[in-house]
Amino acid sequence: MDLGLSGKAAVITGGSRGLGAAIAGVLAREGMNLVLMARDGAALATTAATLAQAHGVAVTPVSADLSAADAVARAADAAVSALGGVDVLVNSAGATKRGNFFSLTEADWESGYDLKFFSAVRMSRALWPSLKARQGAIVNIVGIGGRMPAADFTIGGSVNAALLNFTKALAEVGTQDGVRVNAVNPGFFRTDRLAHSLRSLREQTGCSAEEAEATLLARLGVRRFGEAREVGDLIAFMISRHADYLNGAAIELDGGTRRGI
Ligand SMILES: NC(=O)c1ccc[n+]([C@@H]2O[C@H](COP(=O)([O-])OP(=O)(O)OC[C@H]3O[C@@H](n4cnc5c(N)ncnc54)[C@H](OP(=O)(O)O)[C@@H]3O)[C@@H](O)[C@H]2O)c1
């Protein structure tokens, strides 16, 4: 299926590794020019150069700490300059600390919200004029925890719920301005995050790597973990002309992990 994305421009926050880098890989494969944002300039430069060489597109790294409002504004300006205009924004930067509620600090709460929630709000606002001019799309990478509260995920779950609400509200603005705004709620994907969870499980139980995977899959009640590329494939469709009627949606990509309607 020709998605019609070739030559279009996307900004991906958190694009140096994990889901963001995998999404960048798929969009580059579809011929999109990209700006990738994260803090670590060396990792960003490596990802950008690899994708540019593999797919023959322009990939510009913009290094910024997106938890700070002024840095988001500067990064957005740099992205518009580099791309000449933006068709797509994917908000994938995010890190929220898990743990016992009474052990989490004010700083943990603030950094979780500053990065994942406020960077998405601020980047959407900063790039909106360009997205409106191009009749573009935003996709927020959220997480199933927004609809599945858990005692050890009070920060991440509430950030995700806030981001889902924001997605829906901004989609209504988008109906006036011609910008589609949607979300993806990933389940458990093979990223560093999963590797960390499996390592913790092994340390707690002394089990093997295979047993840790089997235990987690059994807990989740699913057959396998997701491959990061699968998030990119879904997003490529969501931002394409084939999904022009998709607005204000939050799509779960979790192999069936979240029960509930
Ligand atoms: N992986 C999963 O299975 C999964 C499941 C559900 C939801 N999610 C959500 O999906 C999003 C991406 O997750 P991931 O697993 O891909 O995370 P990850 O592998 O930890 O990557 C996070 C990305 O964000 C960047 N980043 C972190 N702090 C930043 C900051 N202050 N300013 C700018 N960039 C920053 C990182 O680069 P630097 O560190 O260099 O800045 C990196 O590029 C998160 O919001 C996460 O909650 C992931």
Instruction: Name the band, by pLDDT with cuts 50, 70 and 90, for residue 221.
Output: very high
Determine the pLDDT at residue 52: 98
Residue 117 CB–ligand 1 contact under 6 Å: no
**Crossing angle of helices 18-29/41-55, nearest 10°?**
20
* Category of 206 on φ-ψ map: left (φ > 0), alpha (ψ -120 to 50) or beta: left
Pairing of strands 88-91, 137-141: parallel
Pairing of strands 88-91, 33-38: unpaired
Most distant CA atoms of the chain, gap in Å: 56
Determine the pLDDT at residue 91: 99
Rounded distance between C-alpha atoms, residue 91 and residue 138, angstroms: 8
CB proximity list for 117: less than 8 A, separation 6 or greater: 159, 162, 163, 166
Rounded distance between C-alpha atoms, residue 133 and residue 54, angstroms: 30
Determine the pLDDT at residue 28: 98
From the number of C-beta atoms within 10 Å of its C-beta (0-12, 13-18, 19+), residue 69 rates as middle
Determine the pLDDT at residue 19: 98
For residues 170-191, average pLDDT: 98
Look up tokens 């700490």; give the residue.
Answer: 65
Question: Which helix (H) or strand (E) segment is 141 a member of?
Answer: strand 137-141
* Residue closest to 59 by CA, chosen among 10, 14, 20: 10
Give the position, in ligand 1's atom list, of the atom nearest the Cα of 71. Answer: 32
Which residue's CA is minimally distant from atom 31 of ligand 1?
A: 65
Give the position, in ligand 1's atom list, of the atom nearest the Cα of 111. Answer: 31
Average pLDDT, the chain: 97
CATH classification of 9-187+231-252, choosing from 3.40.50.720, 3.40.630.40, 3.20.20.150, 1.20.1250.20? Answer: 3.40.50.720
Give 3-59 pLDDT, tens digit per residue: 999 999 999 999 999 999 999 999 999 999 999 999 999 999 999 999 999 999 999
Give the position, in ligand 1's atom list, of the atom nearest the Cα of 20. Answer: 16
Instruction: Name the band, by pLDDT with cuts 50, 70 and 90, for residue 166.
Output: very high
Instruction: Name the band, by pLDDT with cuts 50, 70 and 90, for residue 84.
Output: very high
| Residue 19 Cα to ligand 1 middle (Å) | 7
Q: Phi and psi (nearest 5°) for 28?
A: -65, -40
Answer for the pair 77, 30: CB distance below 8 angstroms, yes or no.
no
Which stretches of the chain are DSSP H helices?
Answer: 18-29, 41-55, 69-83, 106-112, 119-134, 154-177, 192-205, 209-220, 228-238
Give 112-147 pLDDT, tens digit per residue: 999 999 999 999 999 999 999 999 999 999 999 999
Answer for the pair 27, 54: CB distance below 8 angstroms, yes or no.
no
Residue 39 CB–ligand 1 contact under 6 Å: yes
Which stretches of 84-118 are DSSP H helices?
Answer: 106-112
For residues 236-244, average pLDDT: 98
CB proximity list for 111: less than 8 A, separation 6 or greater: 67, 95, 97
Determine the pLDDT at residue 102: 98
Residue 24 CB–ligand 1 contact under 6 Å: no
Domain ranges of the chain: 9-187+231-252, 191-225
